[in-house]
Chain A
């Protein structure tokens, strides 16, 4: 019971305590403190954007929009272009999703439709633990296990085309490559797809399934032609989430992608991504234009993050559903 000078929110109009004691009351203070904490986040983000903007000024002034479509990366002559890294980021993420989405949705279907509830919960628990594995561990296994393994497995597959492999699977393969990065990314983003897709699939009303089965559809037909389309938007949301994770992934990619600022048609060739090149070259960037160009890359990456976030939000609003995690 409040009997001190601080009065409850729903105070009686007369006999209120003085303005000062109300202003500094625990209640108002608490609100102010909470408000400041929330505003803190705005301040930090604003500072972040400011730093990225101001430190990339030299590079932006030098290259302008050309930066986004030039593919030279020449530290000796101070000529920089972002295209190889934009390409690498997109290719590795695309490859990662290409592998992860079928596997992920497939696993989600199994966990949502087929597995008994306890087993489904247990397996989902384990798969969500996979999402908790740090990126550097994926990189460690990538560089010391996956890359040597692919070095043995991929050349025979490529050679099986007897001298005429498809252009995206051609050329020399030294292990570190866009392909390796794509495979590592697929493992890293699959848990997100599985977890969220499973939830949206579980949320589909039973009536729909039962109606389809009553009409004579097989389990698979019910799932594929009725349930999944109904949950389509939520699954798309999970793909967006996975994409966002894949685009920003740094350590695992930088350890297996080959760190080569070149655009190649073949996924067997080494490449580089924006986050990866920043991580590997930033601390060794000598001069003023070089680090500025790398920070401008960071700005581009940040911009892509904003766009993706915005698009995901719009998708969620369009579905009117819950936010995908």
Chain B
């Protein structure tokens, strides 16, 4: 009697605790594309049975953990720097491959009582504000770009992300490009030593702080601004036009880069040249090691990449993500073969 009972209990335990059989891929990284990835991985599991466990812990996590080898692949809004690539080879004994998935952008959002128009921001204005050098809303740099708007003589409250994030990286990458001073003083990273301003937690923390603080300015993801119906300004691009972020202007930024896309896909498209380009745009990447020892995992990942570049790209628009340009997709599809 006891024997039967324990046998039954063991069987139940085995099922409940799970015998390792199905393919489970562990991944993690960027929070910006998480809604997209979440949908992709769910649909992919329903279609093929392969479970990709993606935890949205931030771009820094994606880079740090793929380098440590604790996840099967990572995701990041920032490509690895040369030093980080060297570090990866040193630690893992192989190279890491970048695969762009979707496009995103950062927009400047603000709360200035009395101002309902869409403000224009020049690169110098944004750099000056974030360096703490432009301190008032009626600074000449802002008024000359917005001649028809009455800007108050109030102090600007700067808001940035408190924690490390790819959203920050896109923003400071842009600032580094258009301001030598920023590049030298602060530089690029998921988390930087901000010269000025308040920190908010996540996109919603920044948005909430701006809503509650008069005369404030901050940056959030385009998709976040769209979904939460927030006002955001136009930014002057390399072509001299003031462009507002939209799926079209972000795609335009990528299109220019598509023709000169390097082999490893590590490219920054902030301040990209071209007409109608929104200058604070960026790719987001999956970070995949070039050698995957487990054959089941290798097949699952390469198959997923193929699916993502075909079916996955058709699913982006409803979630307000801009899909990849055709040239990039073609190049990537060829690059999948690099995974051994």
Contacts and interface: CB of A to CB of B under 8 A. Distances in A.
Contact of A77 (B63, B164, B187): B187
Contacts of A258: 162, 199, 201
Contacts of A270: 162, 198-199
A259 B188 contact: no
Interface in A120-157: 151
Nearest to A270: B199
Contacts of A283: 57, 61, 64-65
Nearest to A259: B162
B57 A172 contact: no
Contacts of B59: 284
Nearest to A255: B201
A259 B199 CA distance: 8
Nearest to B193: A74
Contact of B84 (A73, A281, A286): A286
B157 A287 contact: no
A282 to B, nearest CB: 9
B200 interface: yes
Nearest to B164: A284
Given A270-B162, A281-B164, A283-B57, A76 B63 contact: no
Contact of A174 (B87, B189, B213): B213
Interface in B153-188: 157, 162-164, 186-188
A151 B201 contact: no
Nearest to B160: A260
Contacts of A267: none
A75 B192 contact: yes
Contacts of A260: 162, 198-199
Contact of B61 (A75, A151, A284, A287): A284
Nearest to A151: B212
B205 interface: yes
Interface in A257-313: 258-260, 270, 280-281, 283-288, 291
A260 B60 CA distance: 17
Interface residues of B, number: 33
A288 B87 CA distance: 9
A138 B205 CA distance: 19
A287 B193 contact: no
Nearest to A290: B64
Contacts of B57: 283-284
A72 interface: yes
Given A258-B201, A284-B164, A76 B64 contact: no
Given A151-B212, A172-B213, A258-B199, A284 B190 contact: yes
A241 interface: no
A176 interface: yes
B193 to A, nearest CB: 4
A291 B70 CA distance: 15
Contacts of A73: 193
A286 B188 contact: no
Contacts of A175: 208
Contacts of A172: 157, 198, 213
Given A284-B58, A284-B61, A284-B164, A76 B198 contact: no
Contacts of A284: 57-61, 63-64, 164, 190-191
A82 to B, nearest CB: 15
Contacts of A285: 60, 64
Contacts of A174: 198, 200, 205, 208-209, 212-213
A131 B187 CA distance: 45
A151 B208 CA distance: 11
Contact of B188 (A76, A281, A288, A291): A76
Interface string A73-99: 111110100000000000000000000
A76 to B, nearest CB: 4
A259 B67 CA distance: 25
Interface string B219-251: 000000000000000000000000000000000
A260 B197 CA distance: 11
Interface string B55-98: 00111110111010000000000000001100100000000000
A74 B198 CA distance: 16
Contacts of A281: 60, 163-164, 191
A74 B194 CA distance: 9
Nearest to B190: A284
B192 A76 contact: yes
B212 A176 contact: no
A270 B162 CA distance: 9
Contacts of B61: 283-284
Interface of A: 72-77, 79, 151, 172, 174-176, 258-260, 270, 280-281, 283-288, 291
8 contacts: A75-B189, A172-B157, A172-B213, A280-B163, A281-B191, A284-B60, A284-B63, A286-B190
Given A76-B188, A151-B212, A284-B64, 10 more contacts: A74-B193, A76-B187, A76-B193, A174-B208, A174-B209, A174-B212, A259-B162, A284-B57, A285-B64, A287-B84
